[in-house]
Amino acid sequence: MKIPYNRLHAKGDVLFAARGGSIHSFSLLDGKHISTWQHPDATKVAAASDDARDVDESEPPAKRQKMGDGKDLKVPPAGDADATPAAETPATDGDAAQNEGDSGSKANDKKNKKKNKSDRERQQLGRVPDRPVITELTSTADGRHVLAVSGHDKIIWVFEHDGQGGLKAISQRTMPKRPSAVTVGPDSQIISADKFGDVYALPLIPKPPSPSSAARSPPTTSPAAVSQPAAPAANTLTVHSKRNLEALQNQQRQLELRRERGLAAAEQPKDAPGFELTLLLGHVSMLTALALGESGGRAYVLTGDRDEHVRVSRYAPQAHVIEGFCLGHREFVAAMVVPASRRDVLVSGGGDEELFVWDWKAGEQLSRASVLSLAQKVAPQTTKVAVSGLTSLVYPSQEGPLTYILAICEGVPAIFTWQLTDDNALHHPSIIQLPANAMHLSVSLADEARPRLVVAMDPAQTSAKSLHGYSLTTDNSRLITDTETPFHDEEVEANEGDASEDEVRRLLYTVEHLRKKSDGGEDEPTNGDAAAEAEAEMAQVAEE
């Protein structure tokens, strides 16, 4: 099967649609394909995949290579004992037990089977380099620049947009950790949240390198130290899982080691990126969602994490000041949106059964709306949902502009919509049923009278196309689709590389994996409830 579209962004009359390592642009007026940008590693992966097909599954796996700029990918021939280092395919407990002649208990057998399965999965991953996948796609407010993140190499790409759908890459910067969300700040700064829990700021347009550094730095970067805090903002009172407590202890040990070596906290490490990068704030938990807010003339950074928190922090240069928290999620936060018509309102969703509506500045929960009950109408066997995308739109009705919230859930072939009423409640729920699982969605407001909705889907075993467009209308205040807009991507489809269904799921179905285990494992709480932890964390922050 072909890898489906997984990321969309509509700007004006142009739709940018990412599938795999390519970004395609289409006209929203007639659905015609305009241009294609392809990640440099896409052809390398295709060549490596062809070589890997000739490798016997019983042979040792090929060494997994890191794909860097200008570096060739080498896949050693099957049977090469040196091709797989011990660090990549460690011996399992089961292997050791067999060598020692120990039969082991049933519990050990079960544990060994699980480890053996993990080893086999790692071996399969080791045969072919990571496929480039665009994980984030957005643009500046004026549409002159488009941002994309390629997840496998942690690169933030900046493109110059000619206004007609043509893209020209003008910079690529490899982040310290894999970005999980990006947006553009009011001062032309890229704000990037990563899976390590940090939020960075970097200039949209990099400064040109100095003559002395031009020889050792890429032309689109300039050496600059990364601003680092002198100590973690968190402490033992503000973490509530064993995993996060271990992460905090590791951070503290690293700082102690630097002090012992006489290194300043802000001193540049050897592997620091060679471009201007500023650390704004950090969570102990993995960051999963990012939004910017504005209130009283001040900008704010809104962050959601795997530990059910929505944190409100001031924007740079006071990003160390935590303004408050929106507490109420029981599961991970995966998506957030601040409606353009309600800048004081935040809607968030994730692993919970409901969407949450907040007065984010006050940290007050305004209302909730059930997502699970709607999902069960589409798939009755559904017992839990993972909200993977949220967006909003303003519909120009005869009664005046109406604000709607749209949500999709991982693995569910539908879009769920609500009207956000004047009392900040989600009413008039509606279901837009799709022929395949929704992957991403975007709204175009270029036609003020007829908003357009574009949906990326995973056709899998269906005959549906991956990219669909719809005109929107209302019926008794419920948002519904009217006419369908076809996209002419037959040539794009034909040139797209093949991927197995398992590979598509591994690459693109990542939201449900954020859910913590409920078997008393590593994520079991260690102390306090969320509210007490948030108050303790805020007490450690120096207010103005």
Cβ count near 444 (within 10 Å): 23
- The residue with tokens 């390590």 is 196
Question: For residue 88, what pLDDT is reported?
Answer: 38
Q: Is residue 311 situated within a structural domain?
A: yes
Decide: 265 and 212 in contact? Cβ < 8 Å.
no
Decide: 345 and 421 in contact? Cβ < 8 Å.
no
Decide: 132 and 37 in contact? Cβ < 8 Å.
no
Average pLDDT for residues 351-378, to the nearest whole number?
97
Residue type, 106: K
Average pLDDT for residues 112-134, to the nearest whole number?
58
Q: Within 13 Å and on the Cβ side, how many CA atoms surround 50?
A: 7
**How many angstroms separate the most distant Cα atoms in the chain?**
80
433 — pLDDT class (breaks 50, 70, 90) = very high
Question: For residue 46, what pLDDT is reported?
Answer: 64
Q: Is residue 31 situated within a structural domain?
A: no
Decide: 261 and 277 in contact? Cβ < 8 Å.
no
Of the given ranges (251-265, 353-367, 390-404), which has the lowest mean pLDDT?
251-265
Decide: 62 and 127 in contact? Cβ < 8 Å.
yes
Residue 59, token pair as written in the block? 């042979």
Of the candidates 180, 182, 441, the residue with the CA atom closest to the CA atom of residue 333: 180
Cβ count near 69 (within 10 Å): 11
Average pLDDT for residues 378-395, to the nearest whole number?
95
Decide: 24 and 488 in contact? Cβ < 8 Å.
no
Question: For residue 210, what pLDDT is reported?
Answer: 59
d(CA 81, CA 144): 51
Residue 381, token pair as written in the block? 């066997």
Residue 356 has pLDDT above 90, yes or no: yes
Map residue 43 onto helix, strand or coil: helix
Q: Is residue 201 situated within a structural domain?
A: yes
Residue 253, token pair as written in the block? 């040990």
The whole-model pTM stands at 0.76
Under DSSP, the state recorded for 221 is -
d(CA 203, CA 218): 16
Pick the more confident residue, 489 or 194: 194
Radius of gyration of the chain (CA): 24
Q: What pLDDT, in 10s, does the model give residues 61-114?
A: 444 444 444 344 443 443 343 333 333 334 444 444 444 444 445 556 655 665
Of the candidates 125, 59, 286, the residue with the CA atom closest to the CA atom of residue 193: 286
Question: For residue 261, what pLDDT is reported?
Answer: 57
Q: Is residue 345 situated within a structural domain?
A: yes
Of the given ranges (48-52, 460-464, 485-489), which has the lowest mean pLDDT?
48-52
Of the candidates 77, 106, 112, 108, the residue with the CA atom closest to the CA atom of residue 92: 112
Highest mean pLDDT among 321-325, 396-400, 461-465: 321-325
Average pLDDT for residues 438-463, to the nearest whole number?
89
Query: What is the extent of the structural domain holding 284?
Result: 189-206+275-514
Angle at 335 between CA 330 and CA 337, to 5 degrees: 115
Query: Does 90 sit behind a cis peptide bond, omega within 30 degrees of 0 on the bond before it?
Result: no
Residue 2 has pLDDT above 70, yes or no: yes
Which H helix or E strand runs over 428? Answer: strand 426-433
Angle at 536 between CA 532 and CA 539, to 5 degrees: 140
Number of domains in the chain: 1
Question: For residue 42, what pLDDT is reported?
Answer: 85
Q: What pLDDT, in 10s, does the model give residues 316-334?
A: 999 999 999 999 999 999 9
Residue 18 has pLDDT above 50, yes or no: yes
CATH number of the domain encompassing residue 470: 2.130.10.10
Of the candidates 382, 489, 508, the residue with the CA atom closest to the CA atom of residue 438: 508
Residue 297 has pLDDT above 80, yes or no: yes
Q: Is residue 532 situated within a structural domain?
A: no
Q: Is residue 181 situated within a structural domain?
A: no
Of the given ranges (205-209, 320-324, 469-473, 530-534), which has the lowest mean pLDDT?
530-534
d(CA 353, CA 384): 7
Decide: 371 and 389 in contact? Cβ < 8 Å.
no
- The residue with tokens 């899976």 is 195
Question: For residue 235, what pLDDT is reported?
Answer: 61
Q: Residue 116 phi/psi, 5° resolution?
A: -60, -40
23-40 b/e (C-beta count within 10 Å ≥ 16 → b)? bbbbbbeeeebebebebe
Residue 455 has pLDDT above 50, yes or no: yes
Q: Are strands 277-282 and 226-227 parallel, antiparallel or unpaired?
A: parallel
Q: Is residue 236 situated within a structural domain?
A: no
Cβ contacts of residue 368 below 8 Å, gap of 6+?
Answer: 354, 355, 356, 357, 426
Question: For residue 298, what pLDDT is reported?
Answer: 94
d(CA 543, CA 323): 9
Of the given ranges (128-142, 211-225, 283-297, 366-380), which has the lowest mean pLDDT?
211-225
**What is the chain's mean pLDDT, rounded?**
80
Q: Are strands 414-420 and 452-458 parallel, antiparallel or unpaired?
A: unpaired
Question: For residue 484, what pLDDT is reported?
Answer: 86
Q: Is residue 392 situated within a structural domain?
A: yes
